[in-house]
């Protein structure tokens, strides 16, 4: 499918620039050009597709639906699915999370959205398709949605509502409900130009992170010794997945910046499940996110949330290593 891009990258780097395929610089630049073009195309079409989907999932209707009492646990899956189709990183998911809490959606259901939103979105899906193929992408997407659903369900058991901040409690007492988006009534063809514009804006906003991530990945691909990462995160020890997650938690990056690095991790010998666990912790848990959440969560609630999600990501890493 992407042979023409590979041929173009080979022609540009090896014929036009005159670099030898066996050199470090040649390998790095070829990797960068090929993946930049491939990911760019996939990213635009995936964002465009998800933009079309989002027009038929108005947030206000979703809020009303998730507030119902008779969904028998399916509300966690619905919230996680909505998180998967929204193009947000962990920090940009927080404002929408606050809107859900203010709108009266149960806290545990809202947390299911917050867990999944940065892990699975059109950016991550497009990049996974381009770098790892359809099977790995499907496993990643399904696992991300299930992780958010299970995480929200488990967090429900902790009775976390008293751990919300006084600011949120006052809002809930006053029963203020704000509509984050107006439901569209125009036809699909009337919405399409706006969908394309929004898709292009999203692609432009994440392009610097894609370029940076691919540049780092290209440098690692061309210059990092084959056994460097394998030495520290080899799949032969049980503790490599927890170590990868713990090392990633203090970091922050979105999918556009970290997925190309994960590809290089795998190429250097790290098991795919361990690498994906590292990515999940990087994009799903971060200090900037914790800072934003202080507006709605007490320190104890943030600690519980981070602990549960960290545990589920570690379990997911073990599962990925079995399935992939």
pLDDT tens digits for 207-255? 776 677 667 767 766 676 656 566 777 766 788 899 888 877 766 566 6
CA dist., res. 46 & res. 51, Å (int) = 8
User: What pLDDT is stored for residue 180 in this prediction?
Assistant: 41
User: What pLDDT is stored for residue 198 in this prediction?
Assistant: 75
Residue with tokens 């381009």: 130
> How do the domains of the chain map onto residue ranges?
3-175+193-323
Q: How many CB atoms lie within 10 A of CB 293?
A: 22
pTM of the model: 0.66
For the stretch 48-93, pLDDT in tens is: 776 676 666 555 566 666 666 556 678 888 888 888 876 655 555 5
For the stretch 118-173, pLDDT in tens is: 788 777 788 888 888 888 889 889 988 999 999 999 998 888 888 888 877 776 66
**Degrees, nearest 5: CA angle 12-264-30:** 5
- State both tokens at 86: 């929204």
123 contacts 151 by C-beta, under 8 angstroms: no
Strand, coil or helix: 164: strand
């Amino acid at each position: 499918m992407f042979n023409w891009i590979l041929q173009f990258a080979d022609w540009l780097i090896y014929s036009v620039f005159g670099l030898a395929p066996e050199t470090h610089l040649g390998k790095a630049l070829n990797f960068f050009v090929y993946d930049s073009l491939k990911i760019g195309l996939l990213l635009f079409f995936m964002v465009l597709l998800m933009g079309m989907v989002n027009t038929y999932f108005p947030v206000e209707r979703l809020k009303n639906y998730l507030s119902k009492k008779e969904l028998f646990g399916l509300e966690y899956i619905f919230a996680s699915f909505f998180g998967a189709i929204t193009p947000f990183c962990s920090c940009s998911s927080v404002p929408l999370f606050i809107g859900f809490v203010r709108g009266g959606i149960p806290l545990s259901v809202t947390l299911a959205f917050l867990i999944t939103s940065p892990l699975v979105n059109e950016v991550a899906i497009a990049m996974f398709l381009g770098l790892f193929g359809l099977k790995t992408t499907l496993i990643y997407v399904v696992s991300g949605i299930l992780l958010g659903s299970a995480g929200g369900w488990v967090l429900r058991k902790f009775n976390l509502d008293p751990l919300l901040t006084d600011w949120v409690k006052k809002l809930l007492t006053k029963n203020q409900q704000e509509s984050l988006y107006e439901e569209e009534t125009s036809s699909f063809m009337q919405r399409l130009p706006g969908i394309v514009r929004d898709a292009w804006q999203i692609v432009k906003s994440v392009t610097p992170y894609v370029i940076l991530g691919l540049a780092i990945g290209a440098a690692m691909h061309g210059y990092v010794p084959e056994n460097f990462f394998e030495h520290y995160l080899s799949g032969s020890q049980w503790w490599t997945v927890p170590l990868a997650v713990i090392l990633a938690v203090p970091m922050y990056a979105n999918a556009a910046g970290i997925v190309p690095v994960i590809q290089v991790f795998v190429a250097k010998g790290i098991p795919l499940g361990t690498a994906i666990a590292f990515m999940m912790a990087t994009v799903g848990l971060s200090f900037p996110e914790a800072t934003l959440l202080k507006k709605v969560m007490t320190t104890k609630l943030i600690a519980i949330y981070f602990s549960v999600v960290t545990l589920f990501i570690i379990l997911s890493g073990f599962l990925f290593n079995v399935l992939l």
